[in-house]
Amino acid sequence: MKVFFKILLALVLIAVIAVGGLLGWLTAVEYAPAPVEPAERGGALDASSLHNVSSGEELRVLSWNVGYGGLGKNEDFFMDGGKMSKPGSKDTVYVYLNGISRVLAEEAPDLVLLQEVDINSSRTYGIDERGLINTSLHPDSYALNYSCPFVPVPWPPIGKVNSGLYTITNDLLIDSAERVSLPCPFSWPLRIANLKRCLLVSRVPVEGSDKQLVLVNLHLEAYDDGEGKIAQTNQLRDYIENEYALGNYVIAGGDFNQAFPGSLDVYPNTHPENWEPGVLDESLLPEGWTLAYDLSTPTCRLLNQPYDPADTEGTQYYVIDGLILSPNVELKSVETLDAGFENSDHNPVSIRVVLK
């Protein structure tokens, strides 16, 4: 019996040392970006081949959370009541990414705001999704909002993750781009392997003026108690209001992880035990600003199971994606494109706007 307890104690000590070592290592290498820092830029950097945006010009803008090419129709996710932590194969990721690229090519928007784009992540088998999506080398910018060398949950663990926000223009000049950190609602130790949310701000010069079209790509908190979403939304509001006060045009879009006004009446949340979005308070917007969204088609589905639209009880929809426009940007139309959740757990949102 004494030998048994000695072995048991030794095993417990080994487990404690292993967990402590893992936490110590992850703390030492934790991703800790500055409040504001330059974003990565790529694509066509030669300004001579690009052009500025013009006042009065109509633009088509598309925002899409592409689910890192790993959350298509056949997937579920452990944080939403499912079981999986990553797609079953590299080929599956390629199928989803090719489908995403095909939609983008068919729609051919002037400006693209993508969320959850992986680079060198275990969950997507090391694929550089930026290069695969932007094969034509359009001007782009990229900012990490999730970077961890080893995410230790669930089992088997997710492993290494590098993922972020990705903005692409169709031959419009991105003059500069920056990563603006948002508040992180998590404390140690949850913080060390969690997302570090941010705004990806890309600036396009406006022809014949010193003004800029400020593109704000965003993906707000998902699995917090709600306070994180509120703090991040408040910072977003302050940021875009300041840019407008400087005379700039502002388009901010992405995944808010908050139900847009009226959407819960159309798509009631019957699975709050799995995941419940925040509620976007339209009164938070500055006066004269436009919230662009479409209730006719859901923008997101719950990942409690593979997609089955015939299962009306098990399938849960949301409208949590959209865009915000400053008063000097006129909204012509907004449409959620029904991509059937074939290649992502989100549908893209497309708008047509004119700079006044």
Q: What percent of the chain has pLDDT over 90?
A: 86
The predicted structure's pLDDT at residue 9: 67
Q: How confident is the model at residue 282 (pLDDT cuts 50, 70, 90)?
A: confident
Q: How confident is the model at residue 48 (pLDDT cuts 50, 70, 90)?
A: confident
How far does the chain reach from its first CA to its final CA, in angstroms?
83
Total-model pTM? 0.95
pLDDT tens for 227-263 read 999 999 999 999 999 999 999 999 999 999 999 999 9
Fold of 35-355: Deoxyribonuclease I; Chain A (3.60.10)
Query: What's the distance, CA 355 to chain centroid?
Result: 25
Helix (H, G, I), strand (E, B) or coil at 132: helix
Inform me whether the pLDDT recorded for 8 exceeds 80: no
Mean pLDDT of 95-119: 97
**For residues 252 and 216, is the Cβ–Cβ distance under 8 A?**
yes
pLDDT tens for 108-165 read 999 999 999 999 999 999 999 999 999 888 999 999 999 999 999 998 899 999 999 9
Q: How many CB atoms lie within 10 A of CB 236?
A: 21
Amino acid at 51: H
E strand or H helix at 199: strand 198-205
User: What's the chain's average pLDDT?
Assistant: 94
The predicted structure's pLDDT at residue 155: 85
> In the structure encoding, which two tokens stand for residue 95, read together?
């199928």
Inform me whether the pLDDT recorded for 286 exceeds 90: no
pLDDT tens for 302-322 read 999 999 999 999 999 999 999
pLDDT tens for 172-192 read 999 999 999 999 999 999 999
- Give residue limits of the domains in the chain: 1-30, 35-355
